[in-house]
């Protein structure tokens, strides 16, 4: 139960090779605001089975100047939240997320804001699907789950570290409109089916959580409000992660050519 509670606190401990490779790939690409790896711990009892991964991490530690430290199962378990780390974790610095400016927005792009998701796991699941669909960047409010960055990275399969992420100020919608973007919100009232909507780029898609949804002030600025039609009568909302997946891949489908 303690571990379950810990998922909601700040964490810059990244668990498993999928998350760690995402961090290292950013360093290789010299990506702006790439997160600094301070040290990587590995379970010495698993060293023979992880020889390939450890050889790679040794080379990367020499290249990027982080420590690669022999540890044990108990120490790694005490630091990690999940159990899928495979005996390897990275302790990292905080990452800086820039405030969105007009110059950050690409021409003819696809951006997504996800709001009101209730826990960091679902937040990460949503980011994973949206990133896979080809999004150019995420726009987040100042209140988000990136404080639990290790959990989000693991649940997003590294997408949260690979993606371009910006923090919104009060004028974020105006910035997109000034670049010619269509503002599309996912909601029920005054909506049309997402399958009948024009989701051609440039598009800024806003998806709310299943409980809190999107604020009325944001909805009032939408150019279009879309809903996801169901295949049967079902009086319940999809999870934000599921809805995000459907919406993002419909954008991908319509812009595939």
Model pLDDT for residues 222-249, shown as the tens digit of each residue = 999 999 999 999 988 888 889 999 999 9
Supply the pLDDT for residue 248: 97
Range(s) for CATH 3.30.1330.30 in the chain?
Answer: 2-92
Which element (helix H / strand E) includes 40?
Answer: strand 37-43
Confidence of residue 170 (pLDDT cuts 50, 70, 90): confident
Closest Cα to residue 141, out of 104, 168, 170? Answer: 168
First to last CA, the chain: 49
Confidence of residue 145 (pLDDT cuts 50, 70, 90): confident
- Give tens-digit pLDDT for 55-91: 999 999 999 999 999 999 999 988 887 677 889 999 9
Range(s) for CATH 3.40.1280.10 in the chain?
Answer: 102-254
Is pLDDT at 168 greater than 60 in this prediction? yes
- How far, in Å, CA of 101 to CA of 140, rounded? 13
CATH 1.20.1250.20 fits 102-254, yes or no: no
Q: Where are the alpha helices (DSSP H) in the chain?
A: 2-6, 17-28, 51-64, 73-79, 120-132, 149-155, 159-162, 172-178, 216-219, 240-254
Q: Which residue has the tokens 């990506």?
A: 31
CATH of domain 2-92: 3.30.1330.30
- Per the CB < 8 A criterion, the answer to whether 198 and 253 are in contact is no
Closest Cα to residue 185, out of 239, 224, 216, 158? Answer: 224
Is pLDDT at 9 greater than 60 in this prediction? no
Angle ∠(178,188,109) on CA atoms, nearest 5: 30
């Amino acid at each position: 139960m303690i571990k379950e509670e810990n998922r909601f606190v700040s964490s810059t401990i990244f668990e498993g090779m999928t998350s760690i490779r995402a961090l290292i790939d950013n360093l290789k690409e010299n990506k702006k605001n790439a997160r600094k790896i301070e040290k990587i711990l590995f379970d010495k009892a698993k060293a023979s089975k992880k020889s390939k991964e450890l050889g790679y991490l040794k080379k990367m530690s020499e290249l990027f100047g982080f420590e690669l430290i022999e540890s044990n199962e108990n120490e790694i378990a005490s630091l990690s939240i999940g159990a899928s780390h495979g005996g390897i974790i990275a302790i990292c610095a905080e990452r800086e997320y820039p405030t969105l400016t007009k110059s950050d927005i690409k021409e003819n792009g696809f951006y997504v804001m996800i709001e009101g998701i209730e826990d960091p796991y679902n937040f990460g699941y949503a980011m994973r699907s949206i990133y896979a669909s080809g999004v150019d960047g995420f726009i987040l409010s100042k209140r988000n789950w990136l404080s639990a960055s290790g959990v989000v990275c693991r649940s997003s399969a590294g997408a949260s570290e690979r993606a371009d992420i910006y923090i919104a100020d009060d004028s974020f919608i105006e910035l997109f409109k000034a670049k010619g973007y269509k503002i599309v919100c996912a909601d029920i009232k005054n909506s049309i089916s997402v399958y009948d909507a024009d989701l051609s780029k440039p598009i800024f898609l806003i998806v709310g959580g299943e409980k809190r949804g999107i604020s009325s002030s944001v909805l009032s600025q939408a150019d279009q409000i879309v809903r996801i039609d169901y295949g049967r009568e079902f009086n319940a909302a999809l999870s934000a992660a599921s809805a995000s997946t459907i919406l993002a891949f419909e954008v991908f489908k319509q812009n595939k050519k």
